Structure 1
């Protein structure tokens, strides 16, 4: 009789335990990271009773969770990748909106500035037109400053995001270490483990991967060891390591504002600097990538534009004379060439970006007096004189405009010297009909490839001269060329030739291409200048648009992969309410049947007692 009772009781306990597990599954259907649990049972060891082995009911040996470690690792990896691309996409979208916005970008302001130069060229003595040029220059400077401010907001936002994420990493690491300790104390082995704590720990690891990619190793005692980067420990058993974000040295000595990540060793003030390129994923990696490459690249490009534009304008300004016929003394824009030198001497992209950020902050209009704009050419041509005084000139060629063209490179930009005198020698029948005689040296004169009717030549001392002429002569003529001295007699002859050369800077190749590399954003010293300011800006816009598109496509792919892995995990580990409802009925019936077994045993036992 005791066998029937014990069998019934074991079945009753098994059904009750199964009902407990099913109820627990139903209660946690909306719990994030919960893995469906299952009661494991087996037939009890039978007992030999003479006629054979009789069963003794059911034994319960484990409550296990339906968990696939490989699938969970996949989920962690895809979560880290998706989160990293999401951080990049958000920041790049802000940058893309900034530099492509017709109202916030540079294109319209540059067009407005050059348009004001064209207007001034039609009335070079007008103070109002000169003031309009200065106003447009200040507007362009303000736009550069505005874009830099917006880029600084993006940069500082990413740095703050990294700093906040580091705090989150440390919080998750401490919680995982605490759960390791709890799990170790409650783990009874052979499947008797605290499943709910395991779920909580896996959820924390998954949330941690949203911030930074991790590698997890489960130890033989059930504790997790969590590593980041190239094997740097974050959690070892019950010990959590602290991640820190520092700025500047020692990781970024050339930029005191640049962030870097490190792991602080427990019980010491020593840290191990992490290589941000090897973090692998998570929002921290995405923010660091955008900060170090995209933001730095765009700010460096904008800074280079400010430096080269201001330098080119200042060089051409220095070659002209102002409204009073005096040689230009005031630069048009603040001199930023020292920042170019700083960037060229930098050994890291962070150092280059720092120098160009500093240049952007200081880009400003220097000239305030409209009369100081050097609109007129700083050199002038005299009247043609026959080489042979005894010959009667059959017509006279005249230089209608002559000017110096500034160098675009950082080399010296010499002014035409007063002596020895420069002469343009007109030779009938020659093509072109001019040669330049400078101190006894004949310099070839060639026709300009970019300006119709213009001839140009470069002296050995570096001065590049361009001029237009009209008229012909049957005899050789000499036309003297001298610098303007500021004499009162020269003021009436002022022209707009220097201003027109300023306007031509719109299409001159001021910019060398940005290297297609992540190790430098600055072209080599002396690299060929191949693009105008606006075409270079177009390349920067194209770079940002391309990067934004690539990251967005990658994000879409990773989000689709993440959704697929989640669905696979849910199909295995998720709670199906329909299935659990069916289990409730099944276990309820099993409970009732076991109760009936006990009732039958009781009735049989009572009948035996009644026989006495």
Structure 2
């Protein structure tokens, strides 16, 4: 009977081994499946008096080939890779908004500025003036279109984050349910390999969306934490995540991830706390990259619109009236805060005072323990500008061309968020509908009074931002001999804000007043006490004058961005900023993908199924099974022989 028992045990053990190998082969393509191996153990031998005789082998358990360390490393790398990939993909879409080509903003800007050349050549040509208005309408439309694309990206990003949060909530509920099943199964003394595989795969799926940390309990269940310490799954219970606008700055559009336990209050998780996962990448894009894109676009709209408005207001229309604004742009915006003292109608505001100094950034006013003292913080680089109190902030502190007005004092710990450029491109409109209202003429005319043959020539009379609109009556520019054969000029009456005298250089501009320059060429004639002179008066030839149209053309090389960048370089600089950020994100995504792929390969090298290896095991266990069957056949023959012998 002992041989029969040994054979039966061997037959059953090898059958289970064959079944396990077959199960591995069947699940070779099952996500999260860990290769299983039968663990054999020798049955305790029987003392026959002359020694212990073996009783064969039994199956101790079915082991799961699994490395906890590699699994956690691969899961963390997957979370980081998902965040980088989501951000990179979104930035590629953002880059398309700032692309070049004939349909881009850069082409629209150049087209509008070039249209002023025709007006400069033919100031009374109504078609040339209408072309300028058409180009302005096209520019405003492209600004609005670009802003609309950013709004659509913002909406899509929010929807994607909300969908991801719903998926995480569903997966966390499944993990909690599996915790209960695994705990009950572990109580039997054996490991439920398939349930553990399912749970680990769910955890990996969760980390695709939000990074978690894991703590194992003694009963086989696990706890998952998000944001460092918030329990998403705790035993049989699961919490909820939600995506909402930041409660600190209502109306700002900045989103945050919120954690809420059953029956508890929502806890806002900062972007730094979310770690990795697709939600973290999308949050970084929505709150930082997309915000910068809006600021870059809005700054461009404000700077270009304000510069053109100012230039048109300096000139005269075909009817001789001062020009008006060409674009309607928001120069004052409100801030976002929860401070009760800043509720309507005392909402804090920020006003653009110098559009050429604007930085593409949001700003935050923060009050410390020494309130009402505080700081204006530029969020793009963290630069802080201190102020003493409300009056000091309003009257003395101009940050990057912006003036802040809080209306009421702040208290310790309070803050106000400002996005002065975020909506500018969305609301820009061209407000001039008649070519006659285009102010192509200068408000001042110049006349050269020559002693003889005109050796002195007028090159240009340029009106720029800062000109008051008129010169004192009888203003004259005269010349006299200077030292070493030079020529000295004198402005009479003496102007305020510029030098009344100086050395004349042919082709070099002479400032007649703040914002008004005249450029002459040639050498003025001087005869004793008399000399060539230039007299200035209000322009009465506004229908044929093109001085201000020429000033519009000169704006292409004027500094209107960051206090250092010209209009012609402004859009290319913006493209470079977005492109650099996109390339950096693409590199980070590629690096994260490589690391995640390598770690996943290390994990699957331990847990994955190798078909060649399993096929070899099938042959091995098949031969063992056949040998076990032969053992039973021999034992049966011996038993039959004994029965036959006894029966005689």
TM-score between both structures, scaled by the size of structure 1: 0.86
Deviation of the 1:353 alpha carbon: 8.3
- 1:468 paired with 2:500, answer no
Give the direction of change, closer, same or farther, for the CA distance of 1:158–1:335 in structure 2 (3 Å limit).
Answer: closer
Deviation of the 1:465 alpha carbon: 3.4
Greater fraction strand: 2
| C-alpha distance after superposition, 1:445-482 (max 9, x if no partner) | 66899xx82423264xx444334366433235564434
| C-alpha distance after superposition, 1:182-225 (max 9, x if no partner) | 111111365x1111011011111111121122222222222121
Give the direction of change, closer, same or farther, for the CA distance of 1:446–1:78 in structure 2 (3 Å limit).
Answer: farther
- 1:433 paired with 2:488, answer yes
Listed as ranges, the matches of 1:34-433 within 5 Å are 34-188=33-187, 190=189, 192-250=190-248, 252-253=249-250, 255=252, 257-268=253-264, 270-328=265-323, 330-339=324-333, 341=351, 346-347=364-365, 354-381=419-446, 384=449, 400=458, 403=461, 405-407=463-465, 413-417=466-470, 419=472, 422-429=475-482, 433=488
Root-mean-square deviation over aligned CA pairs: 2.8
**Structure 1: gaps of 5 or more residues:** 386-392, 408-412, 485-489, 513-528
Deviation of the 1:121 alpha carbon: 0.4
Q: Distance in 2 between matches of 1:433 and 1:417?
A: 24
Instruction: Provide the residue aligned with 1:568 in structure 2.
Output: 602
Give the direction of change, closer, same or farther, for the CA distance of 1:503–1:447 in structure 2 (3 Å limit).
Answer: farther
Q: Distance in 2 between matches of 1:313 and 1:146?
A: 20
- 1:533 paired with 2:567, answer yes
Q: Distance in 1 between matches of 2:200 and 2:184?
A: 18
TM-score between both structures, scaled by the size of structure 2: 0.81
Deviation of the 1:95 alpha carbon: 2.2
**Residues 377 and 494 in structure 1, CA contact (< 8 A), matched pair in contact too:** no
| C-alpha distance after superposition, 1:414-447 (max 9, x if no partner) | 5244657644233344756323234576824668
Q: Distance in 2 between matches of 1:92 and 1:240?
A: 33
Instruction: Provide the residue aligned with 2:499 in structure 1.
Output: 443
Instruction: Provide the residue aligned with 2:548 in structure 1.
Output: 498
Q: Distance in 1 between matches of 2:239 and 2:495?
A: 78
Give the direction of change, closer, same or farther, for the CA distance of 1:344–1:219 in structure 2 (3 Å limit).
Answer: closer
Deviation of the 1:336 alpha carbon: 3.1
**Residues 364 and 418 in structure 2, CA contact (< 8 A), matched pair in contact too:** no
SS in 2 for 1:321: coil
| C-alpha distance after superposition, 1:382-403 (max 9, x if no partner) | 5649xxxxxxx56778774764
Q: Distance in 2 between matches of 1:508 and 1:51?
A: 109
Q: Distance in 2 between matches of 1:509 and 1:200?
A: 62
Give the direction of change, closer, same or farther, for the CA distance of 1:105–1:205 in structure 2 (3 Å limit).
Answer: same
**Residues 381 and 399 in structure 1, CA contact (< 8 A), matched pair in contact too:** no
Between 176-185 and 282-291, the greater mean CA deviation after superposition: 282-291
Q: Distance in 2 between matches of 1:455 and 1:82?
A: 58
SS in 2 for 1:593: helix
Q: Distance in 2 between matches of 1:172 and 1:119?
A: 65
**Structure 2: gaps of 5 or more residues:** 334-349, 353-360, 366-377, 381-415
| C-alpha distance after superposition, 1:259-312 (max 9, x if no partner) | 2111012213x1111111332222112212222222211221111011011111
Give the direction of change, closer, same or farther, for the CA distance of 1:212–1:272 in structure 2 (3 Å limit).
Answer: same
